[in-house]
Amino acid sequence: MTRPQIAAPAFDRPELLRALAEDFAMADYTVDAVADLLGHEAHAALARDQIVPALVATRAAAEDPAGEPLGALVRFFLLACPLPATAVDDVLPRTRSEGLLALGLAEPVPDGSEHHGWAPDGALAAAVDLRPYAWDAEGGQKEVWVASDLAAHQREGVLRTDHVLGIGQASTTLVQTTARRRVDRALDLGTGCGIQTFHLLGHARHVVATDISDRALAFTRFNLLLNAHTLEIDPERPEDRVELRKGSLLEPVAGERFDLVVSNPPFVITPRTSQERAEDQFTYRDGGLPGDQLVATVVAGMGEVLAECGTAQMLGNWEIPAGSAWHERVRAWVPEGVDAWVLEREEVDPGQYAETWLADVSQHREPHSYEAAYAAYLADFASRGTASIGFGALWLRRPAPGQAWLDRFEELTHPLEQPIGPHWAAAVERADWLASHPDLARERLVVAADVTEERHQRPGAEHPGVILLRQGAGFRRTNLMSTELAGFVSACDGELTAGQIASALAALLNRDEPGFRSGLLAEAANLVADGFLIPGVLHARESEDGARG
């Protein structure tokens, strides 16, 4: 049977929130402790939404929750296994079962029902997923507890349409992609359960978090107040640091400017019908617009909310019409006065796309509706001539005078070093440096520390046929080089200027044609842009920062 769902956790019981945080801390309900308890295999399986190994690993807690409090918490909040009310009282002695019920974090299990096995009469079941979450921040690791709706592997049936998503792949991808620079005002557009806001509070004086869903905002407020101490929020005056606003897209912040905008918007492309109602849409992923118009609308609106030097980092999907390049469509969305650097990370056909998002809400549990929904996806894409759908990350900026104009659209499907945000920020800084140093001949360059060279040649050949530069970090690019460029790079140790190296190579190779030197410097500039070569001044600063770290 499907259990009734609560509206959202209560956030107006500060004494219970403090008690719950103390109980979690006393039980060592942390990321590392949970990983140690489950073991590598079960922990990895749980990340794939497979709970059986974790059930096996926590069997002792099922037999004696009081003796295995951490295992009992894992079973209750992560595996959705009911606990007797008396066991809850033992595991959470300050909050107790009454406190969980008052906070809306648990609900009684009807007598005689089952959930992952037999549930005793008088048992409680988790009404939300509530798990530890940690990240490396300036000054050390931060750890919080995050509440969200139970996912498909924790509950029966299709997800509710106002489902509040937890910590998923997309949210962590955006976390890793965002450059963590100090800013005055930041905007979390479509906050969900608040993950991006937690990170923003570490480097923004004030954060505005918006969502169209009342339930999402309630979950976010609960999470902020539960973790007020860690997030450096005054629970009696949270608005001093963070403000929650309800509304669609950029409407709640109309007329305001921000130094940083992050967004994991509801970008999933969903077939539209004339009979659909707003309450039938999955608000966490479906913005209610046809095709990829929601992402297009968000991108186009950035010109109205970004302050000078302000940046926006977001995820998105885009349709790729048959016979067209993906970047043509995305570039057309960028508004005047805003530049863009976009990475396409994946591209799938309409069928693959439909399967992914129908599985996301467990639509396969209703075979007849699954078939109809799948057919609707295919017809919807066909109506617009969509050949494939791209997914990726966007960096948008309102550049100040003297900064580079970014107009870069590239497909990078190989694994990148994570977090990629610091490397992306460094790449933009190099672009700005190149814009302010148009005469590269006067500059001293250094090969980046992670760069290696590969040479390939036929057996017995006198010279290599292929010379490659590879990055071991960051974007992990590979660059095919000519012999001349390889010679240039090998001499970049910061002693000679780029112009001196180019002139020496021209003399050594007897290349006195006018374009040789300038062409070599142009190729060197591209290597700087991609991070293979680092300007000496930036390299020295990176070395100082590394020494301090």
Together in a domain, 415 and 529? no
- Partners of 244 in beta bridges: 209
For the CA atoms of 308, 309, 314, 317, the dihedral, rounded to the nearest 10 degrees, stands at 70
Together in a domain, 424 and 462? no
Domain boundary among 412, 429, 446: 429
Together in a domain, 402 and 314? yes
| Residue 345: its H or E element | strand 339-348
Q: Residue 142: inside a domain, yes or no?
A: no
The domain spanning residue 327 has which CATH number? 3.40.50.150
**Helix/strand/coil percent split, the chain, to 5:** 40, 25, 35
Domain that holds residue 531: 437-548
The domain spanning residue 442 has which CATH number? 3.90.930
Determine the pLDDT at residue 116.
Answer: 47
The β-bridge relationship of strands 533-535 and 444-447 is antiparallel
Together in a domain, 90 and 175? no
Q: Residue 153: inside a domain, yes or no?
A: no
Averaged pLDDT in 10-residue chunks for the chain of 549 residues = 61 96 97 97 93 94 93 96 95 97 93 54 90 92 95 73 87 96 97 97 97 94 97 96 96 97 89 67 69 93 97 96 94 97 96 88 74 90 95 97 96 96 97 96 96 92 90 97 95 96 94 91 97 85 55
Together in a domain, 211 and 70? no
Determine the pLDDT at residue 3.
Answer: 39
Determine the pLDDT at residue 368.
Answer: 75
Q: Residue 143: inside a domain, yes or no?
A: no
Together in a domain, 506 and 536? yes
Determine the pLDDT at residue 284.
Answer: 63
User: What does pTM read for this prediction?
Assistant: 0.91
Q: Residue 146: inside a domain, yes or no?
A: no
* Torsion sign over Cα 429, 435, 437, 440: positive
CA distances from 193 to 148, 168, 315 (A): 6, 11, 17
Determine the pLDDT at residue 546.
Answer: 53
CA distance 71 to 90: 13
Together in a domain, 488 and 369? no
Domain boundary among 394, 429, 464: 429
Yes or no: say if 208 and 186 are a contact pair by the CB < 8 Å rule: yes
Q: Residue 364: inside a domain, yes or no?
A: yes
SS (H, E, C) 471-501: ECCCCCCEEEECHHHHHHHHCCEEEEEHHHH
Together in a domain, 394 and 245? yes
Q: Residue 145: inside a domain, yes or no?
A: no
Q: Structurally, how many domains does the chain consist of?
A: 3
Q: Quick check: helix, strand or coil at residue 261?
A: strand
Domain boundary among 405, 429, 453: 429
Determine the pLDDT at residue 525.
Answer: 97
Together in a domain, 220 and 362? yes
Q: Residue 5: inside a domain, yes or no?
A: no
Q: Residue 188: inside a domain, yes or no?
A: yes
For the CA atoms of 440, 446, 452, 455, the dihedral, rounded to the nearest 10 degrees, stands at 50
Together in a domain, 123 and 178? no
Together in a domain, 399 and 463? no
Instruction: For tokens 């299990």, name the residue.
Output: 109
Together in a domain, 124 and 205? no
